[in-house]
Structure 1
Amino acid sequence: MSSPLISAYLISVGILLMAAAHASILARGIGHARENWSFAAICLGFAGFQFCNALQYSAPDHARALAAHLWVNFFSLLVIPPVALAAAALDPKKRSRQPFVWLTGFVLLVMAYNFLTPYGYRFHALNPDTPRSLPWGENIHMIQGQASLVYRAARLVLLIVLAYALGVTFSLMRMKDRLSSTLIWIGLAIMLVTLLLSSLSDIGVISLPHLGGFGFVFLAGAFSLVVRKEMRVRELQEKHNALALAREVQERLLADARADQILHHDALTGLPNRAGFIQRLEHAIEQHGSAETKIAVLLFDIDHLGAVKGTHGLATGDELLLQVSQRLRARIRDRDVLARSRSDGFALIASRIKAKTGVSVLCEKLSGMLAEAVELEGQHFKLSASIGLAIYPDDASSAGELLSAAELALHEAKNAGVSQIRSFHPALKENFRQRIGLESALREALERKQFFLCYQPQVSASTGRTVGMEALLRWQHPELGLVSPLHFIPLAEANGLISHIGAWVIDTACAQLAAWRQAGHADLRMAVNLSATQLLNPYLEDTLLGAIASHGLVPADLELEITESVLIQDPDQTVLRFNALRKLGLRLSIDDFGTGYSSLSYLRVLPVQAFKLDRSFVEGLGKDETSLEICASAIRLAQNLNLDIVAEGVETSAQAEWLRALGCPIFQGFLFARPLMAEAATAHLAQERAGGITAEAAGTELPRLPSVLAAQSHSGLSAYRARL
């Protein structure tokens, strides 16, 4: 065609088709599909709009011009939804999809109306057909008439969509790209002006061809700059996020590695700890495929290492363990696994053992190596070890069973004396099976309410009145009868049940104390024993405070007794846990004082309020001077440190008299009361309150020594004091 106007329309069609193709390539290549496909649809819509305008203005007669005009209307409506979707894709705010569904439905209805009416949706009546002459002499058919209500509604919807797109564009232009901002504003201005001119031309105010498509050509170029800039920003952000994610993954891997090091390795020696040892043992069993070889597990404890720690300090004990671990690593095979799975000893996995004689040789070798003196700070320490041995698959079929078998063998070795070696044997296996049965019963005992508490009074030496009760756990098995705590407490600690049982003990003891308080025993205190596992349980504070609060008590009403053997299992952590418990206001006491190896050193750093003098010293009072010396020293130490001291196992009048004379303030033992069931303990307190059990006038009702024994004890005490 030679018409400049028609040529311009067709050139713009080509530009818009290329823009649509470019946007499609971007959508398929670098992503941002929604934005690019929407932009491609807009370009195609305006290309169709421009092409139909060319057909309309080149039509030879009015009828053909009107037919092309209907398609001009169609494409002018077609671009409205893509414009809204493109703006929504670039909008940083999340928008509901419902308005876009309504918009699309409205456009489809108007499109249908456009083809069902003779003049299209723009007009309800046409002006007479009069060809218009353009300034350069070209004549075209202008379709003009009276605007319909549908046309006005469609124009209003288009203005709303353009206003929304304008707002999104304004937010995008905060990228401080002045060039793209200026182009956008110019393009929007041209677009709005051309739309206004088209509206005026439609109603006959002016006579101009539709120029909205040309306005979009300019706007498309400017808008594509903004879209590409936005996509570049998003790409950079995605790359930044990917790098950040990669760093996060790397940091997480490093953190997991550090956590694995902490969880599965001993901080002192760098060897695998108990968890790491079990992990490696399980792996060794999984990899074991030959029936001709065996796996041996050796557990060995250094004899009397606790005494060394008590007399020379914890640092010396740690250094000894470190040197022993270095010796062991130098003497074992590369494929064997050494671990520090015990506080005072080590564990060894010896794989590919062809005969038991090889294990025996290895045990003798390790035992001889440990017997070599260790020099430390000018002192020579001659060590020995007790060794327990179990072999897979002869003695057990799993890592847990194998380790338990070795534990039983070690227990037998330690009971036999120092520097002993014991292997797992059928008798131990039978004991092991019985232990499994007992463990199964123990798991059901709490649920079936087979546990109960007894309470043993702690009596004031001066008044004879009960000042506290110690809660003692008992297990009444329906078949085995009364099971000793010495049997089931270690088992509960080993299988992890001790925390649940301990929580029940604490709650039950607090409930009983609250009941006694309501009965009028206002000054009574409750003592509860804690195991090593309970003490190191991170939820212990929550358990204690929950029980105390639920029964209306205060922390000072509860005294926690920790045996001295517990203290040396993890000294550093024990000190931290004691301080944490003391800050809560709880009373702390060391049980069985004097039977361990480091009582005095612990009294120096632990925030305790009391300790209990072990019954083994009390029972020797009046029989040997050693027991007297120990009891007197312990009581004097408590007085000097302003600590309470409770003498356990007071069973005779003579013992009570000796302890009272030495200044011990509190007694506990069969002489005053055996451990009592809750009802009997309540009756005991009631009888004491009523005057049936009193000790007015400092021991008037307390058991007194016979006169001859009293004279002997008085002379013995006088002689003892004379020596001090």
Structure 2
Amino acid sequence: MNTPVATLYFISVGVFALGAFQAAIMARGSAYAKTCWTFSALCLFFSLFQLSCGLQFTASNFHAAMAAHKWVNIFSVLLIPLIWFLVASLEDKASSFRHAYIVAVLAACVIGYNYVMPHGFRFDAVFQDGLTTLPWGEQMWIFSGEPSLVFRAMRFMSLCLLIYTMIFSIKITRLGEKRTSRLFWIALALMLIAGLMAGLSDSGVIKMSYLGGFGFLFLAVSFSALVGKDVSSRRIEELRIYSELQHEIEHRKIDNQRFEHVLNSDILTGLPNRAGALAGLTKLLDLNIKNQTKLGIFIFDVDQLGIVNGTRGYQAGDQLLIEVAQRLQANVRDSDIVARLGSGRFIVAATGLKTERCVTLVYEKLAGALASPFYVSDSLLSITSSVGAAVFPDNISANEDLLSAAELALHDAKSDGIGKLRFYHPSLKDTMQERIAFESALKEALTNQEFSLCYQPQVSAINGNTVCLEALIRWQHPAYGLVMPDKFIQLAETMGIIASIGAWVIDAACEQLSRWRAMGFTDVRVAINLSAQQLLVSELEQTVSAALQRHQLSGRDIELEITESVLMQDPERAIERLGALQKLGIRLSIDDFGTGYSSLGYLRVLPVNALKLDRSFVWDLEKGGKGLEICATAIDLAKKLDLEIVAEGVETKEQLAQLRHLGCDLLQGYLFAKPLTVEAASIFLINAHRPWQSVMNSDAGFDISLMINPSYSSGN
């Protein structure tokens, strides 16, 4: 039988099925996954709609055609909420989805109505001439009849859907390509025409098959073009991002490798530095633990490096270090480590040693390699090396401790002269443990309130009045007893806790001065010593300002003393920080003047108020000669620079008389008082206003009963 129209319907079934499959695949790679899955379902139902139409048209009798017609009705109704949900997913608004759900509920009711009615939901009654012969002779079952009220409602719902789709399509045309926009509008026009013709066919005006499915084919093509373009562009963008990400990862890897190399390598010799050595030692320790062998650590320190640098220049010293590194590397195995710890120190880690004799043989080989003269700066140079050694697991079990043990052994070797070898032994370990315990106690001293201040007066050389009290820190420990500053200040700087200790000193001194102010001593100030870290590193201005405000003092009430050597570590930074302190009104002085080898040119720009003449010059004062000339010159220099000068270490009446004669402003020393406790200092202030004659005629400047325990007696 000639059935070209029915054949087209059955062919479209396959086309729609392929569209559903393509949309499902797109859903996996698209940002519009919900839309793609909805479109896939829509294509599938259109496929079933076209199949049902084909079965109706080619049915053998009226009842078979009507049964197929009911399925046509079901799929046509299902298409309405699906299309609505499709547009809602593209619009991505909550209200649109709510409308789609309402339409779906109404469609479900219509499908139920379609099931119970004999002719489906379209017709209340059908015309009996449903079998239609087309002009080319093809016979098809095309029904028409009296439209039902439900069908009219569905027509109205379809019209609303068409309007909603058109409004959305107008928005889409502003964003998409012209080609995709045309496909949308052609598909909508065809579906509108197909819907009108279907209505005419249902009413019996014309005899026409349902063409809505073919109209939707154009919509399917436009959707595939739109989503396909989006998926393609996104995949291209993903590939671009992935390529750039891989490129960035490779760059980061290279940068990290370079950074690790710089971080763990010595620039001069190309050997690992201390950090690189520690990392390598960790691996060697694990290997020796596994193999139950010994690991020998040797630290070589070139004894003559300082001489070479001083006499032949640093370039010659660098050349020497490079050749030392090359010789050490040439005399170890690939599994061993050679690293430079800094300056003239090198570490050699020899792994896999069976016995102590093997350790000795390794040292002899390395020492022999360095025994031959080095050709440096166009001449031969013989050197010696002090060596500290430690052996794992005989001495220490961790890499940092093993390195520390070797360094302790090196210190022991250098203390015995040059070119010596010393192995780590338990007594050195005890020393190290004692130092660790001492450091731990120092860390806890501030928390445990073990620090205290004593005060040494500075008196006027004119009338003997007490002008200033220098605050001197003391550490009273339960086990170590009284610990003087020279035993722990430098260690505190090394440990990085001097700033917090210094802040306590500033606050405690300001608190005590506030109490003396309340006692009526309004003309006296306190002097506080600063360390390098306090001046150059810590936030000193904030610390001082806070202490002054807390105890209701002004900047002129305190004096900060900075040693000459501290100033010379970083003169520009020191000048900057001293200037900030001077803006607070604080008095500044240079302590131990004459011992720091500073340039006198800095005195012109340093914002200081006074110089403290070091006690070493005062001690030689009585001998006359150079000592006297130095004191006279320093005092004269201070006068010309309009600076006040303080002489430290005044212990005899002769020194007092000469310093007064030279014009010194302030005097400090045992002649007037040793460092005093707070109570003794308070009594001293009460009894301090005595004429110079009583001091000159007395055998001791201050009543010994007012002094503190003799163990406190120290110049600082």
Residue 217 of structure 1: how far off its partner (Å): 1.1
State whether residues 615 and 649 of structure 2, in contact with CA within 8 Å, keep that contact through their aligned partners in structure 1.
yes
Instruction: Report the counterpart of residue 279 of structure 1 in structure 2.
Output: 279
RMSD, aligned CA = 5.4
Correspondence 1:41 to 2:37:
no
SS in 2 for 1:476: strand
Counterpart of 1:347, as a letter, is F
Distance 2:657 2:308 in 1: 36
Match of 1:250 in 2: 250
Corresponding residue for 2:106?
110
**Could you tell me how far 1:328 is from its partner in structure 2?**
1.4
For residues 452-484 of structure 1, give each alpha carbon's deviation from its aligned partner in whole angstroms, at most 9, with x where no partner exists.
Answer: 455656667678777777665543323332334
Q: Kindly indicate whether the alpha-carbon contact (under 8 Å) linking 2:460 and 2:667 is maintained by their aligned counterparts in 1.
A: yes
Deviations 1:51-109 (A, max 9, x none): 34445566636853652244124431452376247626xxxxxx68x668746644553
Pair 1:129-2:126 in alignment: yes
- Secondary structure at the aligned position of 2:126 is classed as coil
Partner of 2:17: 17
Distance in 2 (CA, whole Å) between partners of 1:645 and 1:365 is: 58
Q: Deviation digits for residues 589-624 of structure 1, max 9, x if unmatched?
A: 87656656x644995999775876554444333347
Amino acid at match of 1:502: A
Retained in 1: the 8 A contact 2:298–2:347? yes
> How many angstroms apart in 1 are the aligned matches of 2:192 and 2:658?
110
1:558 & 1:694 partners in 2: Cα distance? 22
Aligned twin of 2:702: none
Cα distance in 2, alignment partners of residues 645 and 338 from structure 1: 54
Q: Is the 8 A contact 2:617 2:631 kept in 1?
A: yes
Using a 3 Å threshold, how does the CA distance of structure 1 residues 388 and 620 change in structure 2: closer, same or farther?
farther
- Matched AA of 1:346: R
Structure 1 position 43, deviation (Å):
2.1
| Distance in structure 2 (CA, Å) of the matches to 1:63 and 1:410 | 107
2: distance between equivalents of 1:477 and 1:107? 88
Residue 220 of structure 2 corresponds to residue 217 of structure 1: no
| One-letter code aligned to 2:105 | L
1:58-457 pair list within 5 angstroms: 60=62, 63-64=66-67, 67-77=70-80, 79-80=82-83, 83-84=86-87, 87=90, 102=98, 105-106=101-102, 108-118=104-114, 126=123, 128-130=125-127, 140-142=142-144, 144-146=147-149, 151=154, 155=158, 158=161, 162=165, 166=169, 169-170=172-173, 172-173=175-176, 177-191=177-191, 210-267=210-267, 270-289=270-289, 293-298=294-299, 300=301, 302=303, 305=306, 318-319=314-315, 321-334=317-330, 335=332, 337-342=337-342, 344-352=343-351, 355=357, 357-358=360-361, 361=364, 375=377, 387-416=387-416, 422-453=422-453
TM-aligned CA deviation for residue 231 of structure 1: 1.7
The alignment status of 1:502 with 2:502, answered yes or no, reads: no
Q: Equivalent residue for 1:530?
A: 531
Would the aligned equivalents of 2:144 and 2:204 in 1 still touch at CA under 8 Å? no
Q: Deviations over 1:521-577 (max 9, x none)?
A: 799576453356x7886xx34x76367458649999785846738977xxxxx5686
Q: Report % sequence identity.
A: 33
TM-score by length of 2: 0.72
In structure 2, do the counterparts of structure 1 residues 74 and 268 end up closer, same or farther at CA, with 3 Å as the change threshold? Answer: same
Shift of 1:225: 1.8
The answer to whether the 8 A contact 1:145-1:203 is kept is no
Task: Show the counterpart of 1:720.
Answer: none
Relative to structure 1, is the Cα distance of residues 387 and 475 closer, same or farther in structure 2, using a 3 angstrom cutoff? farther
Within 1, Cα distance between the matches of 2:478 and 2:630?
43
1:117-176, CA deviations, whole angstroms, 9 ceiling, x for partnerless residues?
A: 24799x988454346879959662247333589748955884687368647744652xxx
Q: How does 1:629-640 map to 2 (within 5 A)?
A: none
Distance 1:565 1:241, change over 3 A: same
Query: How far, CA to CA, are the matches of 2:68 and 2:589 in structure 1?
Result: 106
Q: How far, CA to CA, are the matches of 1:297 and 1:219 in structure 2?
A: 82
How many residues were matched structurally? Answer: 667
More deviation, 354-363/201-210: 201-210
Query: What is the SS of the residue equivalent to 1:332?
Result: helix
* Paired letter, 1:296: I
- Structure 2's unaligned 5+ residue stretches are 700-716
Structure 1 runs not aligned, ≥5 long = 89-94, 569-573, 708-724
Q: Aligned letter for 2:403?
A: L
Structure 1 pair 451–182 and aligned structure 2 pair: CA distance change class (3 A): farther
| Aligned partners of 1:191 and 1:219 also within 8 Å | no
Is residue 341–residue 347 contact of structure 2 (8 Å, CA) maintained in 1? Answer: no
Contact 1:38 1:85 in 2 (8 A): no
What do residues 408-457 of structure 1 show as CA deviations (whole Å, max 9, x unaligned)? 33444454556665443333222223223334434444443434455656
Work out whether residues 635 and 662 of structure 1, in 8 Å CA contact, stay in contact via their aligned partners in 2: yes
Structure 1 residues 117 and 179: CA distance shift in structure 2, 3 A: closer
Relative distance call for 1:162 and 1:281 in structure 2 (3 A) is same
Decide whether the 8 Å contact of 1:339 with 1:347 is kept in 2.
Answer: yes
Q: Distance in 1 between matches of 2:598 and 2:233?
A: 68
- 8 Å contact kept, 1:56–1:141: no
Match of 1:13, as an amino acid? V
Give the TM-score taking structure 1 as reference length: 0.72
Q: Using the TM superposition, name which of 426-435 and 598-607 deviates more.
A: 598-607
- Seen in structure 2, the aligned counterparts of structure 1 residues 565 and 145 have a Cα distance that, compared at 3 Å, is same
Deviation at 1:239, TM superposition (A): 1.7
Paired AA for residue 140 in structure 1: I
2: CA distance, partners of 1:578 / 1:36: 71
Alpha-carbon offset, residue 226 of structure 1:
2.2
- Alignment check: 8 A CA contact 2:611 2:644 kept: yes
